[in-house]
Structure 1
Amino acid sequence: MSAVSGFNRLSVLEHANVVVSILGLVFVWWLLAVNGAINSLPGPLPAVNAMVSMLPTGEFHSSVIASLRHVFVPYLAATALAVPLGVAIGLSLTFRDLVFPSLEMLRPVPPIAWIPIAILVLPTTLASIMFITFMGAFFPILLNTIRGVERVEPDYVKAVQCLGGTRRDVLRQAILPAALPSIHTGLVIGMGLAWVNLVAAEMIADAGLGRLIWVAYTTGNYANIVAGVIFVGLLGYASSTLVRWIGQRRMSWNVETAS
């Protein structure tokens, strides 16, 4: 059997497992709904009908666009800040002692607690929403970057230094490549948590899927609640898959990442 054939079979098997996993979740949901174990929460069929009804509407399209903006802009900002900050903390014990304790105190604060603070401090509702999703993405990226830098083998650094490399060369040729798999893990987790924070953040928004879910709740439209949650889950899954795909493309040399 050729390597290409083996890879294709593995890829088909992975996709089949994904389908089986999703169908299993739907089956459990249907079973609970049929037996009345989830009270007034609708089953799969009403939720699918609600999704089909929502898809062609302008409100749904604008909500999706707003939510994507509320996630991806803060996510990119969190990446741009957390990665260099994590590298600095991982490299310098003094810098770590000065900065990390304050950040670690902020990390356990849930997104709901940030909402009134963001409203009071930030000038616009949009800035408040983006701040909350930013906080969701920031800490996983930061912590995984720190972990990746701290776990770099000293021999890699010594090898670059022995070849006459400067501190910048050590950073670019030894530390960052070795820490990249851990940073990538933080990027994937950070994307997921940005979507988790989104629903809480968009309760104060004028548009977005979180707003759509909240309006459906206040009006008693339970099928639309479930439909909105499914759409958030699908977009979150697609976003994390995109980050994984980019990481695999950039780190094809890493067996653990590529597998």
Structure 2
Amino acid sequence: MSGVFLGALGVVLFVGAWYLAVDVLQLPRFRTLPGPTEVIREWLSPHPVYGTSIFTEVYYQHIWVSVRRVTLAFVAALVVGIPLGLLLGWSTRARQFAFPVFELIRPIPILAWVPLALLMFHTREVSVVFLTFLAAFYAVTLNTLLGVQSIDQNLVRAARCLGAGPATLLRTVVIPGSLPYVFTGLQIAMGVAWFSLVAGEIIAGQYGLGYLINSSYTTTRYPTIVIAMATLGIVGFASSAVIRLVGRRLMAYRARSIGG
């Protein structure tokens, strides 16, 4: 309960500081921003002035489109990134061959990929999913690779001495040993997926929370910008919490298996 209380207190203090800066003190760099009173009133209004609230269908349509894109990209990153990370971490030759290319491409910003994504896929929807996939893919692959490299080689040698073949070694030593790193990578990947999704939706999207932020700015619907940003934070927090929950359960199962 103390953790929940402290988390709630942090949110209250943040909103309070926002309220003081915008509505009370009207600080020079904050006075033009929408305050929490205006945003909450718009967010909870059955008849929102700017057209977006919890009572409007379009609000949930934007959320659904963004969640669907992130889910597709995240699953693709998981399916591609984990096996590639295992391969790069386990095989020296594969790492020497592929890792330089991986490291050459990884620093390229997601926004730099937008023109090529549109040229490659010809549709905005697939382009946005691809851009979201890229950021998550890097995080999953790199953390899986580090997880494999972190495994104690004495465990590997012991398993081989007991007659474990490559498949058994992978199943009983490599994958369980790298799981903590893998789930750290999945949490990072989920965060950067939402980050890159917004960038893709601002430029190439037609629906979604990123698109809503950009269209609200161009039409001066400033409270809607904050509503979309807050919604991104809530949905992103929830998705990362699901990954943490699954990770804790798998780690507990792994600990019981090792203990047994």
Q: TM-score, normalised by structure 1?
A: 0.91
Whole-Å Cα distance in 1 between the matches of residues 166 and 246 of structure 2? 28
Aligned to 2:228: 228
List runs of 5+ in structure 1 lacking aligned partners: 1-11
How far is the alpha carbon of 1:254 from its aligned partner?
6.6
Determine the C-alpha separation between the residues in 2 that align with 1:92 and 1:159. Answer: 19
Q: Tell me how far apart the structure 2 counterparts of residues 52 and 104 of structure 1 sit (CA, whole Å).
A: 46
Alignment-derived partner of residue 44 in structure 1: 36
SS in 1 for 2:44: helix
| 1:106 is aligned to 2:98 | no
Per-residue deviation at 1:74?
0.7
Partner of 1:24: 13
Larger displacement relative to structure 2 (188-197 or 21-30): 21-30
CA separation in 1, counterparts of 2:113 and 2:42? 32
- Identity fraction in percent: 35
Letter in 2 for 1:146: L
Question: What is the rounded CA distance, in whole Å, between the counterparts of 1:137 and 1:123 in structure 2?
Answer: 22
Distance 1:183 1:172 in 2: 15
Superimposed CA distance per residue, residues 126-174 of structure 1 (whole angstroms, 9 cap, x where no aligned partner):
1100011101211111111111100100121122212211111111100
**Is residue 162 of structure 1 aligned with residue 154 of structure 2?**
no
CA apart distance, 1:185: 0.1
| TM-superposition CA deviations, 1:22-79 (whole Å, max 9, x none) | 1121122122213223241111111112222311111111111100111011100001
1:35 maps to which of 13, 25, 36? 25
Q: CA deviation at 1:175?
A: 0.9
Q: Which runs of 4+ in 1 moved over 2 A?
A: 34-37
Out of 238-247 and 116-125, give the one that drifted further.
116-125
Shift of the alpha carbon at 1:214? 1.1
Assess if the C-alpha contact under 8 Å between 2:176 and 2:254 holds in 1: no
Q: 1:13 and 2:2 equivalent?
A: yes
Aligned position for 2:170 = 171
State the alpha-carbon separation in 2 of the partners of residues 210 and 141 from structure 1.
Answer: 23
Classify the secondary structure of the residue corresponding to 1:251: helix
Once the 2 structures are TM-superposed, how far is the Cα of residue 253 of structure 1 from its aligned partner?
5.0
Quote the Cα distance in structure 1 between the aligned partners of 2:100 and 2:13: 43
In the aligned structure 2, how far is the partner of 1:190 from the partner of 1:71? 10
| Aligned-pair Cα RMSD in Å | 1.3
Match of 2:124 in 1: 125
Cα offset, 1:95, TM superposition: 0.8
Determine the C-alpha separation between the residues in 2 that align with 1:120 and 1:39. Answer: 42
Question: Post-superposition shift, 1:206?
Answer: 1.5
Alpha-carbon distance between aligned partners in 2 of 1:124 and 1:206, rounded to the nearest angstrom: 11
> For 2:70 and 2:253, how far apart are their aligned partners in 1?
29
- Aligned-partner Cα distance in 2 for 1:106–1:59: 37
Partners of 1:31 and 1:109 in 2: how far apart?
Answer: 39
| Alpha-carbon distance in structure 2 between the residues aligned to 1:52 and 1:106 | 44
Alignment-derived partner of residue 243 in structure 1: 243
Distance 1:94 1:170 in 2: 19
* Gap runs ≥5 in structure 2: 46-52, 256-260
Deviations 1:163-222 (A, max 9, x none): 211111111100110100000000000001101111111122121111111111011011
